[in-house]
Amino acid sequence: MLDLINLPAGTVLAEKYRVTGALGAGGMGVVVAAEHIGLGNRVALKIMRPELIDNENIVKRFMFEGKAATRLQSDHVARVLDVGRLSGEGLPAEGVPFMVMEFLEGHDLSHWVRTGRRFSVYEALHYIAEAGEALHQAHKSGVIHRDVKPANLFLTEREGAEPIVKILDFGISKLLEEQPSEMGLTKTTAVLGSGLYMSPEQMRSAKNVDQRTDIYALGVCLFELLCGTQPFVADTFPELCVKVNVEEPTPISKYRPDIADELASVIRRAYAREVDDRYQTIVEMMAALAPFASEATLPLISQICGGVIPAPPKPLEATVTAVATDKGLPKAKVGAMAAFFALVGAGAVGIMFSTSTAEQARPDTDVRSLDGGARTVSIPSSSAASLAAPSASASAAPSAAPSSSASVVGSASAAPAVTTPVYRKPRFRRPLPKKPPPPAAPCFKDGPNGLKIPC
């Protein structure tokens, strides 16, 4: 009987793959290194655990991973080369599903986090941009990953080339246009994905999510690469659900006071609690991160953004949009806020913005400093904003970033001069008091004996 969990080196599978060693094991299956007998190239075989064969949904989910991965044409996705079923003595009659993937050397990013490595800002942004490129391709193809985490971001080691990140494990991915037969694979009440990286909406329903759940998870991954932990941490999944849906996330400054507040705010928006408060697409997220990235990362961000990096999304404004019952605010606070805004509204009539000068509004120019002001990037507002990063010292560039030093240039138009809006005190003219109407002429009529009497 063939023991698929402990395959010895030299075992031949499917008559063409010779096992060379074990790579890892998980709840769904095992991964072994193998060599294609005919071609001589190295591959990785992912084999389902035989005891799970009777679970039809798990089998479909396993085979679905290959289908989802083959739809993507990205250098940052682990390629699936073949799928099939293993048969033999002691194995189920219907065969054991397996998948053939490209062989990757290196470690996933969670390995480096566990060993205590804290990535520099340039390194972390570069790796997240590479993962973002893969997710951008997936989302364009209608595939939602739903399990983005450092353990599924594999940092490859390539001979003669810089390491790159490849996304693994589309086993619980979702197709936006799932067929009725596939809809059963994503139960509304099913909890899929790893809790620490799971968006609030995915905690409620893994079925009713879109690409913004991947953006949430990618933002948490960026937080972890920089800080070594996640913004929400709990001992149990129910406790985690409460924290994610009620409490505020741990600020980045607690772990990395060297990171600029502007960058921390950009990262924070990626894992905002409300889906509408997050970046709506990977393109928006990459555009917001571009001012803080190295020159080596900008070409990749430009590629994601279609050749020209757009202006970063405007920051979220702090506004009161609901009553206490909607947002859980104490009534005293709501009353104080209402009184405050009432005073502001009453006092607003005393301030008027002068319109004597046209087009004097401040342009959307964002200047952000990074790592103690070592580098400053200015992004002028424009529908085709240009981004030209100043040259950085060799010691500041990430060790794993591509060697290209090309900069991305969009529109060459210069940013307008920054002018300060002019405020003038309004001139009030009190209306003149209205004069009372003149009294009516007295009316008399003839009375007896020739007298005049009032009408």
Q: How far apart are the first and last CA of the chain?
A: 129
- Rounded to 5 degrees, what are φ and ψ at 167? -85, 135
Classify domain 1-103 by CATH number.
3.30.200.20
Tell me which amino acid residue 368 is: R
Q: Is the dihedral of CA 334, 335, 337, 338 positive or negative?
A: positive
CA 46 – CA 33 distance, rounded (Å): 9
Q: Domain spans of the chain?
A: 1-103, 104-292
Q: Any idea which residues carry the catalytic annotation? A: 147
> Contact, 184 vs 115, CB < 8 A?
no
In this prediction, residues 363-368 reach a mean pLDDT of 39
Tokens, residue 23? 């790579």
- Rounded to 5 degrees, what are φ and ψ at 379? -115, 110
Share in percent of the chain as helix, strand, coil (round to 5)? 30, 15, 50
Mean pLDDT of the chain: 73
- Residue-wise pLDDT for 273-315, tens only, equals 999 999 999 999 999 999 999 999 999 999 999 888 877 777 6
Tell me which amino acid residue 126 is: H
Segment among 38-47, 52-61, 96-105, 214-223 with least mean pLDDT: 52-61
CA 238 – CA 233 distance, rounded (Å): 11
Tokens, residue 231? 């913004």
- Residue-wise pLDDT for 397-406, tens only, equals 344 444 433 3
β-bridge mates for residue 80, sequence order: 101
Tokens, residue 175? 């197709």
In this prediction, residues 164-192 reach a mean pLDDT of 55
Q: Which is more confidently placed, 53 or 318?
A: 53
pLDDT band, residue 394 (cuts 50/70/90): very low
Percentage of the chain modeled with pLDDT above 70:
64
> Contact, 155 vs 123, CB < 8 A?
no
CA 124 – CA 399 distance, rounded (Å): 11
Q: Which is more confidently placed, 249 or 393?
A: 249
Class (C level, CATH) for 104-292: mainly alpha
CA 269 – CA 248 distance, rounded (Å): 12
- Residue-wise pLDDT for 117-169, tens only, equals 889 999 999 999 999 999 998 898 888 888 899 999 999 988 778 899 999 87
Find, among 104, 98, 22, the residue nearest to 66 by Cα.
98
